[in-house]
Structure 1
Amino acid sequence: MRIAFIGAGSIFTPLALYTVANSDVLADAEIYLIDVDGERLKFIEAVGRKIGRIFKKELKIQAFTDVKNLQNVGIDYAVISVEKERYKRWHLDFEIPHKYGIKQVLGENGGIGGLSHTLRVVPLVLSIAEVIGDINKDAYTFIYSNPEPRVTYAVNNYAKLKNVYGLCTGYLERKESLATLLNVKENEITFTAAGLNHFTWLKELSVKGKDGYPILDEVLKKSPSFEPLSQLLYKIYGLLPSPSDNHIGEYLPFAWELVPEEKKGLKWIERTRKEGEEVRKLLRLFLKGLVPKLAFNKFIKNPDVAMSIVEGLEGKEKLQEAINVPNDGHINGLPKSTIVEVPAKTSPKGVKPLRVELPREIIALLRTQAEIQKLSAEAAGEGSIEKVAKAVLLDPVVNNAENGLRAMAELMKVHLDMLPQFDERDIEEIERIIKS
């Protein structure tokens, strides 16, 4: 079993290596760490080797700075979590549209910022997918890179890989927030979540084996400040959305006023950056032997999603609570091939997504984002300025057509060095559209 982690410097990788070291199914896997940042790669390799020693399952690790080195060793599974200049570019994705009066909550996965993000990340991931496909087109490929469903759609449609899945830990975030709200343990909460990534809805909510919605209703009466946007959507549509107000708010025009100040915009971006720094600080202490095994176990609350799926594929059949796959009747009412997030059974027979029915009113909310998902991924994969413009004007967060297009043109200008599929003429085309 050969597993490659591409973008190994990501904070997902230590969790994955921990999961491998503590799995009877995965412990003998050959691990390849790939990252273009040599210093970060050395650091994560050292963390992986230390995890192996601590948990007495020496990991078989090799590290490369070029994904093409995988051609010499082969690959069965690939985990992609890549990004370039994440926070510098994210700041621009938020600030530029805001300057034009477009009040997007985060600007990461939805809105004009999410479109800009898509145009940058898709060509990067497709270049990696091309290498993986040349090595083994049947390799299971898991994508953590945001905007994750759009990137997953692009890889499914523009690469020759046969088994591509998008992954997200958002459902764990919702379990954590509900456990705190309801004063129970996370493992005492179960639900079926389905929809689009960062815009799913909870069905069959259970708390300690009982119907969870009546319990939630009673607690919410005393908790008016808990996620105002999610509470409003729950009251209107009858299902609680997931994973949280600011992620859901990326897709809704009325979210800006409802999402608390500390959970949106530059404050949230900075908070996310600091959380990443704190994780790396803890890992540095771990390398120095200052974080004991017991404390490290507490830090790792859940197994890595990708490695949990690999365990299922390698023989330990299990239910994966959230996986992003092309829609093939899994959610009735959403277009075929849209990347939807649903539960799935994983086993040596493969990944079997489960069918989930959602109310027609919720489907209506999701359909617009399903079309934007396709348009933005196709725009990125094809270098289509026409599809860029269509995605801008279809987005509910865009409250003024001219301002939306102007914001998009400016974003493409500042990010042009990371948009190999576009050039100055494409930006001029948007400006001609504005003037006409």
Structure 2
Amino acid sequence: MTTIVFLGAGSVVFTRQLLTDILGFPELTGAHLVLHDIDPERLATAGSVATRIAEAHGARPKITATLDRRAALDGADFVINAIQVGGYPATRTDFDVPARFGLRQTIGDTIGIGGIFRGLRTFPVLAAIAADMAELCPDAWLLNYTNPMAMNVTYLSRVAPRLNVLGLCHSVHWTVHGLCEIVGVPFEEVEFDSAGVNHQAWILSWQHRGADLYPALDAAIAADEQLRRRVRVDMYRRLGYYPTETSEHSAEYVPWYLYHDEEIERLRIPVGEYLRVSQDNLAEYAAIRDGAPITADSDAVEYAPQIIHSMVTGTPRRIVANVPNVGLIGNLPAGFAVEVPTLVDAAGARPQPMGHLPPQLAAVNRPYVSVGELTVEAALTGDPRLVRHAAMADPNTAATLTVDAIERMCDALTEAHGDLLPEGLRR
């Protein structure tokens, strides 16, 4: 029996989709599904959701719910990580404190000041998970969805180099899906390659029956003023390759947009968007908890269920995954996590080398990587100066604030997050 553990199962909106996709595979309907969360109410809701989804599929999995993480991990084959350390209150802190200093964010979970502090409060929990897995399920695969993705995968590679880890994100899939809708071709008929870093990778090739689709995209953009009012369309027109994450995300990874009122207006950038998304998720969770119907996409879109199915059945698939850069992208720093095509089957996962990125793309990625490297190093060394260095290196933060303001903002965030941060960094 395949044992699949969900850490952060109380993130019910996301867990619902994963469970639907997993139980959509006949070979996995008898799996042992182990749900773990630190919140008893959310864990109970997740258990109810799992039971309802299983019944809807006519499946008979074994379902276990536990507040004990070590009990959950004991004997696991796959561990899906979707935790959010500090929950919504910590997310509000990541937005509210910087806003007092005049710093705008949209999502705040990847780099930027929000990504830095989200990473710092997540790393200690990741280290504990990795230690438990080394003892209780050393051969299991950790399938990580928790942000900041690239920082988390890099951190795990440093503290637990023997752990099997894949960082998973659906941004590439949905980017190509959306591009196909713009140019009017079926997604199922296209071939594409992407590479870069999570939330800032690039569609390097995109073809339909051997024909390059970028000229069709150019024509669509030229004909539609509203398309030209998207951040990532603006980036594509200047850089020559389409970025793989939404405009909301993309706007805060570069220094060009959020500081300028006119750019926010021109490109319709939704400042503070993640707070609205989080509030919607809280409302949806409450509705599910109170018995609302459970709906999810019937097609397997998320990568974790596909990976599990491929490794269990030997079915080969090509997905996109985040892994340490060990000879995968030649002009990005070695060791830091990159996002590349990855082959999965019964033998495991094999990330595919992608050579060098076009130089302008690597140039945009490098500041992102620098912020992540400094944040990880701060956690590993316990040096709070490196937290400030990471914030100073961040493109959006540096474009907006003076260095003195950056220092004061980091001090304020450190005080606000308190003991959620590693002990050595609480100064």
Q: TM-score, normalised by structure 1?
A: 0.88
Aligned residues: 416
- Find the aligned partners of 1:228 and 1:20 in 2 and give their Cα distance: 34
- Aligned pairs for 1:30-45 (under 5 A) are 30-45=32-47
Structure-1 separation of matches of 2:41 and 2:186: 38
CA distance in structure 2 between the partners assigned to 1:416 and 1:173 by the alignment: 37
2:359 aligned with 1:353: no
- The SS at the match of 1:173 is helix
- Contact conserved, 2:310 with 2:345, CA < 8 A, in 1? yes
Structure 1: how far apart are the matches of 2:410 and 2:208?
44
Residue 62 of structure 1: aligned partner = 64
C-alpha separation in 2, matches of 1:330 and 1:275: 38
Q: Tell me how large the CA RMSD over aligned residues is.
A: 2.4
State the Cα deviation string for residues 68-112 of structure 1 (Å, max 9, x = none): 2136x4111111111134332222212322322333443222212
Give the 3-state SS of the residue equivalent to 2:204 in structure 1.
strand
Residue of structure 2 equivalent to 1:323 = 321
Whether the 8 Å contact between 1:319 and 1:343 is mirrored in structure 2 is: no
Look up the match of 1:366. Answer: 365
Question: Partner letter of residue 374 of structure 1?
Answer: E
- Secondary structure class of the residue paired with 1:342: strand
> 1:8-157 alignment to 2 at 5 Å?
8-10=9-11, 11-70=13-72, 73-157=74-158
Which residue type is aligned with residue 322 of structure 2? Answer: N
Q: How does 1:361-400 map to 2 (within 5 A)?
A: 361-397=360-396, 398-399=398-399, 400=402
| Structure 1, 399-408 or 104-113: larger mean CA deviation | 104-113
Aligned equivalent of 1:6: 7
Greater alpha carbon shift after TM alignment, 395-404 vs 178-187: 178-187
Provide the TM-score with structure 2 as the length reference. Answer: 0.90
1:241 maps to what in 2?
A: 243
| Cα distance in 2 for residues equivalent to 1:126 and 1:339 | 17
Kindly provide the amino acid, as one letter, of the partner of residue 278 in structure 2. R
1:276 is matched by which residue type in structure 2? N
| Cα distance change, pair 55–208 in 1 and its aligned pair in 2 (3 A) | farther
User: Are the counterparts in 2 of residues 229 and 259 from structure 1 also a CA contact under 8 Å?
Assistant: no
| Aligned residue type for 2:79 | A
Distance in 2 (CA, whole Å) between partners of 1:140 and 1:9 is 20
Partner residue, 1:273: 278
Distance 2:128 2:24 in 1: 32
SS of aligned partner of 1:416:
helix
Pick closer, same or farther for the CA change 1:222–1:301 going to 2, 3 Å. farther
Residue-by-residue CA offset, 1:87-146 (whole Å, 9 max, x unaligned)? 322222123223223334432222122111111111122222221222122211011111
Deviations 1:16-43 (A, max 9, x none): 2112211133222211100111111111
Shift of 1:319: 3.0
1:149, 1:373 within 8 Å by CA — same for their partners in 2? yes
User: 1:16·1:307 contact (CA, 8 Å) conserved in 2?
Assistant: yes
Q: 1:271-315: per-residue Cα shift (whole Å, max 9, x none)?
A: 312442464367458x56x56xxxx46x34433311211112223
- Cα distance in 2 for partners of 1:262, 1:126 equals 39
Contact 1:188 1:209 in 2 (8 A): no
Distance 2:257 2:318 in 1: 30
The Cα offsets for residues 324-353 of structure 1, whole Å up to 9 and x where unpaired, read as: 000111111111111000111001111111
Cα distance in 2 for residues equivalent to 1:66 and 1:161 = 24
Give yes or no for contact 1:123–1:381 (8 Å, CA) kept in 2.
no
2:217 and 2:41 map into 1 onto residues whose CA distance is 47
Indicate how the Cα distance of structure 1 residues 270 and 371 shifts in structure 2: closer, same or farther if over 3 A, else same. Answer: closer
Counterpart-to-counterpart distance in 2, 1:181 and 1:275: 27
- When structure 1 is superposed on structure 2, of 184-193 and 109-118 the one drifting more is 184-193
- 1:147 Cα deviation after fit: 0.7
Paired position in structure 2 for 1:313: 311
Question: Which moved further from structure 2: 46-55 or 301-310?
Answer: 301-310
- 1:233 deviates by 1.9
How far apart are 1:250 and its partner, in Å?
2.2
CA contact (8 A) 2:300 2:306 kept: no
- Mark the runs of 5 or more structure 1 residues left unpaired by the alignment: 427-436
Single out whichever of 312-321 and 253-262 deviates more from structure 2.
253-262
Distance in 1, Cα, partners of 2:377 & 2:139: 23
Cα distance in structure 1, aligned partners of 2:33 and 2:164: 19
Identical-pair percentage: 27
Q: Which amino acid aligns with 2:382?
A: G
CA separation in 1, counterparts of 2:269 and 2:181? Answer: 17
Find the counterpart in structure 2 of residue 419 from structure 1. Answer: 421
Verify the 8 A CA contact 1:102 1:404 in the aligned structure 2.
Answer: no
Larger displacement relative to structure 2 (35-44 or 407-416): 35-44
Relative to structure 1, the CA distance from residue 177 to residue 50 in structure 2 (aligned partners, 3 Å threshold; closer, same or farther) is same
1:264 to 270, 292, 307: 270
